[in-house]
Amino acid sequence: MKPIPFNKPFMTGRELAYMQDAVDSGKISGNGTYTRKCQHFFEETYGFRKCLLTTSCTDALEMCALLSGVGPGDEVIVPSYTFVSSALAFVRQGAKIVFADSCPDNPNIDVTKLEPLVSPKTRVLVVVHYAGVACDMDKVMEFAGRHGLLVVEDAAQAIDSRYKGRPLGGIGHLAAFSFHETKNVIAGEGGMLVVNDGRFVHRAEILWEKGTNRAEFFRGEVNKYGWVDTGSSFLPSELNAAFLWAQLECLDRIQDKRKLLWETYRDRLSTLEARGCFRMPDIPEYATNNAHMFYLVCRSIEERTALIARLKENGVLAVFHYLSLHSSPYYKDRHDGRALPCCDRFADCLVRLPMYYELLPEDVDRICSIIKEFFN
């Protein structure tokens, strides 16, 4: 019985050749040819205003926090069902996090419940497109506009996905993508900041280059460069960018294969869902599916634990996902005590099934047979 891992990073075959090319070019630090190729790819393909590769999505979120200008005394609304980094970046700047609940039928932030969370101190709204499925962005932008909030899209999982035809990561004022090895397109570790609001373009470049105006200098726009602001070394080396470029060249192939696997799961498991055994991801009318993840929402934590154990006995690694951030050891004493029941339910009941390029439709059949036996 062949073990089936939860994830397996996919190599397209060109990664080493492009990394070798970067080495041969004699320039392997950041902001070189491959970095610019990758950034242009996103700007051209999706119409993002300005893209800057970063060493991780966490770094890109930290840049968002710096650009937002939040500090002690400010509040930031963040969904509780997300990865630590969505909140951490703003906590580091001294802001207070006001955690929001998920929708009843999917893990994205429930925009209809945000009104009571706003105070005169609220500055930023972070939304996460969970599993690459869009939040209801018209409602998000309308709400944020009404309260004068900056919108940051945590689009870590959302490459090549859309809301009413508009690419995710291109709607909020700022957005962050991840190329961590668990995402659809990878660079080992890697990420990208997207600046859609022109007010932030200039400062983003400076923060990216350790607080210097080096990028302008290399474009010949200023005749010397120096220390002009705060920042860090957010840019990745050309070796990572070369690796990422090989992946981006194969984006369509990667997406097609993942969507095929996703549809196979949905097809094989739909009768069990109809019987009420679990819920499968629901793709709203306004969203597309980028097949980042296939998950089930079980009826109870006990049933989920038993299902994960049954799959494991049969060599299949399925995993749960986020623990509610509002009750995490780091934040529980700072949380205002509101219950976030939908978030807690996804923390307890959601299980992710194996999903990676080299997974075969036969593997999906085998996984689904184990699940069927479990529920019968």
Binding site for ligand PLP (CB under 6 A): 56-58, 82-83, 85-86, 128, 154, 156-157, 178, 180, 191
Cβ distance to ligand PLP smaller for residue 214 or 292: 292
* Least separation in angstroms between CB 268 and ligand PLP: 26
Cβ distance to ligand PLP smaller for residue 277 or 291: 291
Cβ distance to ligand PLP smaller for residue 133 or 149: 133
Q: Which residue is it, tokens 């999706």?
A: 46
Question: In this structure, what token pair is assigned to residue 292?
Answer: 């980042």
Asked if residue 82 lies in contact with residue 109, where contact means CB atoms within 8 angstroms, the answer is: no
Indicate the DSSP class of residue 134: P
Asked if residue 277 lies in contact with residue 299, where contact means CB atoms within 8 angstroms, the answer is: yes
Cβ distance to ligand PLP smaller for residue 154 or 160: 154
* Least separation in angstroms between CB 157 and ligand PLP: 5
Cβ distance to ligand PLP smaller for residue 163 or 213: 163
The enclosing H or E element of 96 equals strand 96-100
* Least separation in angstroms between CB 15 and ligand PLP: 18
Candidates 151, 134, 186, 137; CA nearest to 12 is 186
Q: Are strands 150-154 and 122-128 parallel, antiparallel or unpaired?
A: parallel
* Least separation in angstroms between CB 85 and ligand PLP: 4
The enclosing H or E element of 263 equals helix 251-274
Question: In this structure, what token pair is assigned to residue 343?
Answer: 């978030």
* Least separation in angstroms between CB 58 and ligand PLP: 3
Cβ distance to ligand PLP smaller for residue 157 or 212: 157
Between CA 325 and CA 99 the distance in angstroms is 8
Q: Are strands 350-353 and 294-298 parallel, antiparallel or unpaired?
A: antiparallel
Question: In this structure, what token pair is assigned to residue 148?
Answer: 């004068």
Q: How far is CA 342 from CA 27, 266, 349, in A?
A: 49, 23, 10
Task: Quote the crossing angle between the two packed helices 361-375 and 251-274, to the nearest 10°.
Answer: 20
* Least separation in angstroms between CB 272 and ligand PLP: 27
Cβ distance to ligand PLP smaller for residue 171 or 371: 171
Cβ distance to ligand PLP smaller for residue 34 or 83: 83
Other CB atoms within 10 A of residue 267 CB: 11
Amino acid at 271: T
Query: How are the residues of the chain apportioned to helix, strand and coil, as percentages rounded to the nearest 5?
Result: 40, 15, 40
* Least separation in angstroms between CB 56 and ligand PLP: 3
Cβ distance to ligand PLP smaller for residue 212 or 288: 288
* Least separation in angstroms between CB 176 and ligand PLP: 7
Between CA 256 and CA 14 the distance in angstroms is 19
Candidates 87, 114, 121, 119; CA nearest to 332 is 87
* Least separation in angstroms between CB 60 and ligand PLP: 8
